[in-house]
Structure 1
Amino acid sequence: MSDTSADSATARSAPGSGSTERAVAAVWRIESARIVGTLTRLVGDFGLAEDLAQEALLDALRQWPLEGVPRNPAAWLTAVAKRKAIDGWRRQERLDERMAAIAHDLEREQAESPEAPWDPDAVDDDVLRLIFISCHPVLSREAQVALTLRVVAGLSSEQIARAFLVPTATVQQRIVRAKKTLAAAHVPFEVPPREEHAARLGAILGVLYLIFNEGHSASSGSDWMRPELSDEAIRLARVLAALMPRERDVHSLVALMELTAARFPARVDAHGDPVLLADQDRGRWDRGRIARGRAALATADARGSGRGPYGLQAAIAECHAVAASVEETDWDRIVLLYEALGRIAPSPVVELNRAAAVSMATGPASALRIIDQLAASGALAGYHLLPATRAELLLRLGRDKEARSEFAVAAALAGNDRERALLEAKAAGR
């Protein structure tokens, strides 16, 4: 099955039952990773496993409106896909040990629990293996993101394309190429050896961080935020935390995402325009997310060995989350946290953020010196937030004409329509 036809499985209408179609879509969104992971382990082919799962999904769209949704829809889909694998091998006269093993496995599962309750929160090692495959280092970062959202998160190519504002065909090509690359590289369906664990886990966390950040501040398009992307990143990070409960950095990333996403309800106004931190109604911040984020950070801290980059960023987000106002925020602590982050994960963006915190802790003049050094280095050339931050500092110093000029530079560099409009308004003195 091609990637195009596979996508159609979640979009094709079930005769006479919109509720059944929604049920199928919901099951796929929650369970696709486990289903595809289980099938990959059994058939030994990642691409074939996804095709089998999608064919089973089409069967569900045809049969469930007539027969009703089974008590364990994920098990139903997996069983149908296994039968399709057996039928395919029979047609190819490949009745070998693998087919016999799958048939035996299917019979055992049905004998033990033919109608077990469906537990959407259950996770297993096959999902973990699938995450490691989707973020394998032989793939480009763009392919890792597309494959993770498609296979692990259960999004269609159309949904991924809309989220990242690229043509659907581009996403489909990335996914198809990624599958071919994995097959050509003979990537095994397994969690990597322990000596590779840290590096490979870092790549996975980097992919989830990238997906979350694109939802937090869209790099282009007419919407400033794409919260549905951030929600997927949080969901996948929580799955990973359940699969790898001893990993400090996984819990730290969950904490960072939850604490940051807590501010989402107040980050845009009724028209979808950006609302900056100083102007946000903190009463609209999601207290449930704040509580979950702080709990995840505490879990990460309990693992020992100090805070890593995600933990330090989560601690900064926590400072904002617990403050009653901008004025009451512990800016001195935030500066210290950025200094620590700059030592273990130095980057010009970290330095830019430290400058913003310094401006709140000790005033705009000292922060401007940091910004000017960054500008002179050329490290953030073309990054719109550098002139935008410099403009804000100039405003606070009463240098309005220079500030408007910097806002105009920032507006010209901004890729997002909403953010550009905000910067243009500031450049015009509005």
Structure 2
Amino acid sequence: MWRREAPHVRAALLRRYGQPDACEDAVQDAAEAAAARWPLTGVPDEPRAWLIQVAARRLIDRMRAEAARTRRERLDAVREPGAGVVPPVDDDTPVTGADDTLRLLFLCCHPALSRPSQVALTLRAVAGLRVEQIAAAYLVPARTMTQRLSRARATLREAGARFTMPPPDALPDRVAAVLDVCHLVFSEGYTRTSGDQLVDVELAEEAIRLTRQVHAALPDHHEVTGALALMLLTHARSPTRTDAAGDLVPLADQDRSRWRRDLIDEGVALLGRALPHGPVGRYQLQAAIAAVHAEAPAFGDTDWLQISVLYDMLSRVAPSPFVTLNQAVAVAMAHGPDVGLALLEPLLADPAMRRHHRLHAVRAHLLELDGDAHAAAEHYKLAARLTGSLPEQRYLNRRLARLTSDS
């Protein structure tokens, strides 16, 4: 219930008061109050209204206390409950009709911030991801991300930022950040960075739901279409990604007859509408790669040459260490593991990537394909030690055990 209602509570407070830090504190106060009271009194008939009312009262109390502390000598300046609030937002934008979660995404991707800060702050305030999860996406320690989030909030305060919906002509500038937020939320749902479960289906489907709303609001935005296609084509594999025990099943071993054909057909159709128009962006390219995987009847039928070409294009459009990791696998499958291993060499010099389990997992896999069992075992061992995901850790340890038993 909290995951469903929290964005609506945040949106209601932000629209009225426009103070992100104070609103977030008030929302957390309401959550604590609910956790303490509802087990005794039962869940109210209108839980959202109850939470908004409690959060607003706590926020007003804080505003009064702050005013009293800073202007004691002027008692007549202490705010009344409705003083200083932001007027209701004019909703005459293409996002009209969208739910509060999506509207809050556009509100929080504020132009006073850099794009990485927009995305990180929105992931924390709207999506509710933990600092550790956001830090993992940016390859930085959790402490560093905490500092970045604090600086982002301070920047908004110093800029006097007001959280109002952008006019229609300003929406495109925020779409890229909103798509990044949706995709990172989806990625965390599709493969959790930590914990005892590999997949959070509810979180992945929430990201898809929000992206559908962005697409409904901006149907001619081809990167929005590409992002939705990517999520659908990727999520189609979810039923086969774990076994009955919850352990990871690699792509090569998945039962493709259980992939969701409805999502694949929809994703391919969306991609077909987006690709012929204008410059091809990162989400369209990633969706094209997912489509090649989806259309292969079996793992052995995968067109790795085409995938490696698409990754080469993606590495030029949107280079990143994770793109290089995936590109190395595709190139290894198309041209041999030694070529893929060569692509990984620069990543080994990156301090952030050296701490990331996926670099060592990919390197171990390619070393195993190249026949170097000893080196592969060392990297499987290191990858298992570095991951915070228990299903991934068990999978890596199984690969390690099989490798050592064979040798």
| Contact residue 17 and residue 86 of structure 2 kept, 8 A | no
Summarize deviations over 1:129-150 as a string: whole Å, max 9, x none: 43414x9736976x954x4345
Summarize deviations over 1:94-153 as a string: whole Å, max 9, x none: 588993797997xxxxxxxxxxxxxx97358842443414x9736976x954x4345323
Q: Percent identity?
A: 36
| Contact residue 252 and residue 310 of structure 1 kept, 8 A | yes
| Contact residue 101 and residue 126 of structure 2 kept, 8 A | no
Unaligned runs of 5+ in 2: 68-75, 89-96, 388-392
Spell out the pairing of 1:94-109 with structure 2 (5 A cutoff): 99=82
- Rate the CA distance shift 1:34–1:68 in 2: closer, same or farther, 3 A: closer
Kindly state the Cα deviation for residue 275 of structure 1 after the two structures are TM-superposed: 1.6
Corresponding residue number in structure 2 for 1:130: 107
Spell out the pairing of 1:185-334 with structure 2 (5 A cutoff): 185-190=159-164, 200-219=174-193, 223-225=197-199, 227=201, 229-298=203-272, 300-301=274-275, 304-334=277-307
- Rate the CA distance shift 1:160–1:88 in 2: closer, same or farther, 3 A: closer
- Rate the CA distance shift 1:386–1:37 in 2: closer, same or farther, 3 A: same
| Contact residue 271 and residue 284 of structure 2 kept, 8 A | yes
Query: In structure 2, what residue type is equivalent to 1:137?
Result: L
Matched, 1:339 2:306: no
- Rate the CA distance shift 1:308–1:50 in 2: closer, same or farther, 3 A: same
- Rate the CA distance shift 1:121–1:409 in 2: closer, same or farther, 3 A: same
Query: In structure 2, what residue type is equivalent to 1:99?
Result: G
- Rate the CA distance shift 1:429–1:289 in 2: closer, same or farther, 3 A: farther
Query: In structure 2, what residue type is equivalent to 1:425?
Result: A
The number of residues matched between the two structures is 371
Query: In structure 2, what residue type is equivalent to 1:254?
Result: L
Q: Secondary structure in 2 aligned to 1:428?
A: helix
Summarize deviations over 1:318-372 as a string: whole Å, max 9, x none: 12123221123333432332232233234464355344334444x53xx523433
Match of 2:396 among 420, 423, 428: 420
| Contact residue 105 and residue 178 of structure 2 kept, 8 A | no
- Rate the CA distance shift 1:349–1:56 in 2: closer, same or farther, 3 A: closer
Q: Determine the C-alpha separation between the residues in 2 that align with 1:197 and 1:231.
A: 24
Query: In structure 1, what residue type is equivalent to 2:211?
Result: A
Normalized against structure 2, the TM-score is what?
0.69
Summarize deviations over 1:362-406 as a string: whole Å, max 9, x none: x53xx5234335437856773214422422431xxxx3xx23422
| Contact residue 368 and residue 393 of structure 1 kept, 8 A | no
Q: Determine the C-alpha separation between the residues in 1 that align with 2:306 and 2:292.
A: 8
Q: Determine the C-alpha separation between the residues in 2 that align with 1:342 and 1:242.
A: 29
Q: Determine the C-alpha separation between the residues in 2 that align with 1:103 and 1:257.
A: 36
| Contact residue 216 and residue 225 of structure 1 kept, 8 A | yes
Kindly state the Cα deviation for residue 36 of structure 1 after the two structures are TM-superposed: 2.1
User: Which has the higher mean CA deviation after the structures are superposed, 376-385 or 341-350?
Assistant: 376-385
Q: Determine the C-alpha separation between the residues in 2 that align with 1:272 and 1:63.
A: 31
- Rate the CA distance shift 1:194–1:427 in 2: closer, same or farther, 3 A: farther
Kindly state the Cα deviation for residue 206 of structure 1 after the two structures are TM-superposed: 3.3
Query: In structure 1, what residue type is equivalent to 2:295?
Result: V
Q: Determine the C-alpha separation between the residues in 1 that align with 2:346 and 2:98.
A: 51
What RMSD over aligned residues (CA atoms) do the two structures have, in Å?
4.7
Kindly state the Cα deviation for residue 39 of structure 1 after the two structures are TM-superposed: 2.4
Query: In structure 1, what residue type is equivalent to 2:360?
Result: H
Q: Secondary structure in 1 aligned to 2:12?
A: helix
Q: Determine the C-alpha separation between the residues in 1 that align with 2:59 and 2:382.
A: 54
| Contact residue 123 and residue 181 of structure 2 kept, 8 A | no
Spell out the pairing of 1:161-172 with structure 2 (5 A cutoff): none
Q: Determine the C-alpha separation between the residues in 1 that align with 2:220 and 2:81.
A: 34
Corresponding residue number in structure 1 for 2:92: none
Q: Determine the C-alpha separation between the residues in 1 that align with 2:133 and 2:100.
A: 26
Q: Secondary structure in 1 aligned to 2:299?
A: coil
Matched, 1:182 2:156: yes
Corresponding residue number in structure 1 for 2:360: 384
| Contact residue 405 and residue 427 of structure 1 kept, 8 A | no
